[in-house]
Every structure is written in structure tokens, then in C-alpha cells.
Amino acid sequence: MAEPNELPLSILSAIERYRQQCSDPMVAFFYDLPALAAHANAMKAALPPGVELYYAIKANSEPAIIDTLAPIVDGLELSSGGEIERACRSATPRPWVLSGPGKLDADMRSAIERGVEAFHVESLGEIARLQSIAAALGRTQPVLLRINPWLPESFSSRLRMAGTATPFGIDEAQLPQAVSAVDNAPNLKLCGFHVHAMSHQTSEQRHQQLLAFYLERWPSWRALARYPEQLTQLNVGGGIGVNYRQPSHQFDWASLCYAFGQQLDNLSEPPRVRFEIGRYLSAFCGYYVMEVLDTKVSHGEGFLVCRGGTHQFRLPVAQGHDHPVIHLPRDPEQSSNGEQRAWTVVGQLCTPKDVLSRHQELRGVRVGDLLVLPLAGAYGYNISHADFLCHPRPSQHFVTDTAEALHSRPGLRRVLAEGYSG
Ligand SMILES: *Cc1c(COP(=O)(O)O)cnc(C)c1O
């Protein structure tokens, strides 16, 4: 079980301030923007020389998250007209690419008009459509072909986008045909290849092997083109996992980058490599905070019924894990003398699937206490079915306080010592 003292003071303080404004039991998301910036800066600093980091905004496309990351990353990866809107409204305009299956003609046209850097093309049909759109606009459009490669069985992860039958990318068997279609399209310019094969990769070693495999395949993919020397870019996708089961054991990005840098150093003609990371960039900055509405024991199992639920934070059910929970008692002293037991944390929905976490050993939980679910910054609120049962949507708070700013707030010490008001 995680402890309250693992929460940043800025988040505790924002929770307390919001709670004082709530007349009903609270539920809300809080995002630690300085921590997000620090994490992104550290990721960027660890990259091997020349390797780029893009943010795949589908992980969390809230304007404040994009505005925090945009100045740090090298660019953005987008997959819809709506995402183009969000990215173009960012305070810091950055280069962006458009990928994803099922692109609309209207989105491709708007992307070209709004200055897309490159398209990640997903099918033979899309090559033909993009060619006619680029021709109609009188442009020459850079493209990367997204490959669904043959992958050794050992690379499999929980959520596979490639190496198996999926709607993503171009089957490697059809790659020669796709490359020649782009070579023959007068308004398209082939710049390289894109592979996003895995999600939830939690092993540095396996990811390193996957990247090594791409680098090994790169010369033969490139050799398919009429002018191979014009192909310089290899986008290796995202897919770095977050460990929701053991929050203190996370993917070691720096060690992956170090090993990958050595692999690149051994190549005589390395491609320009780009990562496009979603989850591992934004997950750590987010917290979903729910107030306990009711406690009950039914057929031997203890339930904490909380404000909110999986319609607002679908991630744990979507991934099939028990989300870590931090208990913030309203009365810390009473709570520390209370009984410890295993709880199942559920929301307000009238469905047995509305479970956020099982087997949470918590001491002295009472109605009115708060539960904080960390690691909620990626694929949290934005993948959820928030209108189910017509509950109001939770508020989202983008916290910009730094630790220094908080030392001048004595109220916070009181909260830590005496618990949460309400
Ligand atoms: C979702 C997605 C990403 C980001 O994946 P993460 O697992 O969040 O890092 C990158 N590239 C493509 C094409 C995607 O669809």
C-alpha cells in the first residue's frame, strides 16, 4: 500500500483547497505540471545524441498537458482532426505528424493545409487517397510507411499492434508494393518507416531487443525504395509501459537509452530515430481522488463505495489491474487506531464491473475519507465513458505550485497532522 507521504505536497494542498469548495463529496483529477515537466526533461536528457522524442497526445490531450510538454519534446504525434485542433491551439507550436488508421480525407487535407510535418501512412488505399489530396493542393508531402513487421514470438507483449493480425500499418509482405506505390506517387516523398508494435512494455531488455530488431531490418526495408539514400527516418513508436502493480518499480528509460545509444554507435549509417511516447510521458503526473461515500461488508468482502468510478477512470478495468490506492483519512489519529482489512474499491455505477481495485489493505477507513489513485495521467479520464448514468463530469485541476511556493502555506501542515476538512 502506498502512503500519504508519497503524494507531492502541491497535490495534497490542491486537494484540500478544492475540497473546501465542494458541497457534495468530492471527486476530481489533479495533475502535477512541474513534475510532468521534470519527468519529460529527464527523458529528453537521457536520449542518445540525435534521437528525438515526440509526445503521442492521445495519452492525454488536455491543453495544459500539451502546453507543458510542447516546449520540452521535439514534436507531437496526432491521430485525428480533433487532435490537430488541440495541437494547433497550443501555446508553443511544435512540429507534428499525423498517424492512425481510418484517416478522413478532410483530416488529411486539413493536416496539409496546417503544416503537417509528415504522414504515417497505414495502407495502400491511404497512399492513393493522400496522393490525390496532395496533388489537388499542389504539394509534395513527406510520408513514412507504417509497417506491421514479422516479429519473433519472444517479443510479444500484452497489447500487440504488430507481428500479428491487426488493422494497423502495412503487412510487411506488402511493403515492396507500398514502397513502389509511394515511389510512383508524384506528390508523395518517402522519408522512412514507422513501427509502433507494442504497448505496456515493462522490460527494458525486451524493448532494447525490439529496437535492435528494427535497426537490423532497417537496411532491407530501405533497400526497397528507388532512392534508398533518401530514406533517413525510423520512427520506433511508443509503448513503454507503466507498472501499475508495483508503482516503485518503473521502466528504466535511462538504461534503455544508454543501450540503444550503443547500438546506434555501432552502425555505419544510422537512421534518424524518433520515439513517440504517450503513456510513459504523462501517466506519472496524474491523480484521481475519490471520497468514500459508504462502507459495507457483503458475503465476506469489504466494499468502499466512492464518489466517481470507472466511468471517469476506466484505466484499471481497461487494463485488468488493481489500481494502487493511497488513503487520506479525514482523521489520521482515529484512522491509525482503526481496524485494518482488505477492501474492494468501487464507484457509483450500477454494474458489478465498476471496480477500481481489489485487495487493498487499508486501516481505519471511514465515510468521508479520501482515496487517491496515482498514475492517472495517461489513458485515464480521456478513455472513459463519462456520461454513463448521467453523473456530472469530474473537475480536472492542473497544479502549477512548486514545493517552494508551499512552504508559505501553514494550512497544509494542519491538514497533514489533523486530516481533511469537508
Ligand atoms: C498510442 C500510440 C502511441 C503511444 O503509445 P504509448 O503506449 O502511449 O506510448 C504511439 N504511436 C502510435 C501510432 C500510437 O497509436
Give the tens place of pLDDT for each residue, 253-298: 999 999 999 999 999 999 999 999 999 999 999 999 999 999 999 9
d(CA 351, CA 359): 19
d(CA 247, CA 258): 23
DSSP3 helix / strand / coil % (the chain, rounded to 5): 35, 25, 40
d(CA 393, CA 386): 6
Q: Does pLDDT of 157 surpass 60?
A: no
Tell me the best of 39, 57, 58 to mutate to test the pocket of ligand 1, counting ligand atoms within 8 Å of each CB and taking the most. 58
The verdict on the CB of residue 16 being under 6 Å from ligand 1 is no
Q: Which of 22, 88, 350, 390 is catalytic?
A: 350
- The answer to whether residue 65 sits within a structural domain is no
247 with 301, same domain: the answer is: no
Tell me the best of 123, 276, 284 to mutate to test the pocket of ligand 1, counting ligand atoms within 8 Å of each CB and taking the most. 276
327 with 351, same domain: the answer is: yes
197-254 pLDDT, tens digit per residue, is: 889 999 999 999 999 999 999 999 999 999 999 999 999 999 999 999 999 999 999 9
Q: Does pLDDT of 1 surpass 60?
A: no
The verdict on the CB of residue 239 being under 6 Å from ligand 1 is yes
338-372 pLDDT, tens digit per residue, is: 999 999 999 999 999 999 999 999 999 999 999 99
Using the mean position of ligand 1's atoms as its centre, give its distance from the Cα of residue 162 in Å: 12
- The answer to whether residue 399 sits within a structural domain is yes
361 with 262, same domain: the answer is: no
269 SS3 class: coil
Q: Does pLDDT of 161 surpass 90?
A: no
What CATH number does residue 254 fall under? Answer: 3.20.20.10
DSSP for 228-240, written as a single string: GGG--EEE----B
Mean pLDDT for the stretch of residues 39-43: 98
Q: Does pLDDT of 177 surpass 70?
A: yes
User: Which of 256, 277, 298 delimits the end of a domain?
Assistant: 277
> From start to end of 129-220, where are the E strands?
141-148, 159-160, 170-171, 188-194, 198-199
300 with 254, same domain: the answer is: no
Using the mean position of ligand 1's atoms as its centre, give its distance from the Cα of residue 279 in Å: 8
What's the grid cell of residue 255?
Answer: 538504461
How many structural domains compose the chain? Answer: 2
235 with 363, same domain: the answer is: no
273 with 295, same domain: the answer is: no
What CATH number does residue 414 fall under? Answer: 2.40.37.10
264 with 324, same domain: the answer is: no
Q: Does pLDDT of 394 surpass 80?
A: yes
Q: What is the pLDDT of residue 413?
A: 56
21 with 147, same domain: the answer is: no
The verdict on the CB of residue 122 being under 6 Å from ligand 1 is no
Q: What is the pLDDT of residue 102?
A: 93
135 with 245, same domain: the answer is: yes
95-115 pLDDT, tens digit per residue, is: 999 999 999 999 999 999 999
Using the mean position of ligand 1's atoms as its centre, give its distance from the Cα of residue 128 in Å: 25
User: Which of 224, 248, 277 delimits the end of a domain?
Assistant: 277
Instruction: Compare 6 and 244 and report the one with higher pLDDT.
Output: 244
User: Which of 277, 305, 337 delimits the end of a domain?
Assistant: 277
Active-site residue, 22 included:
no
The verdict on the CB of residue 157 being under 6 Å from ligand 1 is no
Q: What is the pLDDT of residue 422?
A: 45
DSSP for 323-376, written as a single string: ---EEE-SSHHHHHTS-EEEEEEE-S-SSTT-EEEEEEEEES--TT-EEEE-S-
- The answer to whether residue 151 sits within a structural domain is yes
209 with 313, same domain: the answer is: no
pTM over 0.85: yes
- Percent of the chain exceeding pLDDT 70 equals 92
- The answer to whether residue 404 sits within a structural domain is yes
The verdict on the CB of residue 241 being under 6 Å from ligand 1 is no
Name the residue with the closest Cα to ligand 1, atom 15: 100
- The whole-chain average pLDDT of the chain stands at 93
d(CA 369, CA 362): 12
268 with 311, same domain: the answer is: no
- The answer to whether residue 220 sits within a structural domain is yes
Question: What number does the ligand 1 atom closest to the CA of 281 have?
Answer: 9
Q: Does pLDDT of 153 surpass 90?
A: no
Name the residue with the closest Cα to ligand 1, atom 10: 238
Tell me how far apart the 2 most distant CA atoms of the chain are, in Å. Answer: 75
Using the mean position of ligand 1's atoms as its centre, give its distance from the Cα of residue 51 in Å: 17
Using the mean position of ligand 1's atoms as its centre, give its distance from the Cα of residue 293 in Å: 36
Domain that holds residue 312: 9-31+284-418
The verdict on the CB of residue 278 being under 6 Å from ligand 1 is yes
- The answer to whether residue 109 sits within a structural domain is yes
- The answer to whether residue 192 sits within a structural domain is yes
Question: What number does the ligand 1 atom closest to the CA of 146 have?
Answer: 13
Residue 178's φ and ψ, nearest 5 degrees, are: -65, -45
Q: What is the pLDDT of residue 406?
A: 66
Q: CA distances (Å), 293 to each of 3, 24, 155, in order?
A: 21, 10, 44
Q: CA distances (Å), 414 to each of 337, 395, 421, in order?
A: 19, 25, 10
- The answer to whether residue 137 sits within a structural domain is yes
395 with 298, same domain: the answer is: yes
pLDDT confidence band for 416 (50 / 70 / 90): low
Using the mean position of ligand 1's atoms as its centre, give its distance from the Cα of residue 301 in Å: 38
Look at strands 286-298 and 370-373 and give their pairing. Answer: antiparallel
pLDDT confidence band for 28 (50 / 70 / 90): very high
Cβ density class 310-336: b for 16+ within 10 Å, e for less: bbbbbbbbebeebbbbbbbbbbbeebe
Q: Does pLDDT of 421 surpass 70?
A: no
303-346 pLDDT, tens digit per residue, is: 999 999 999 999 999 999 999 999 999 999 999 999 999 999 99
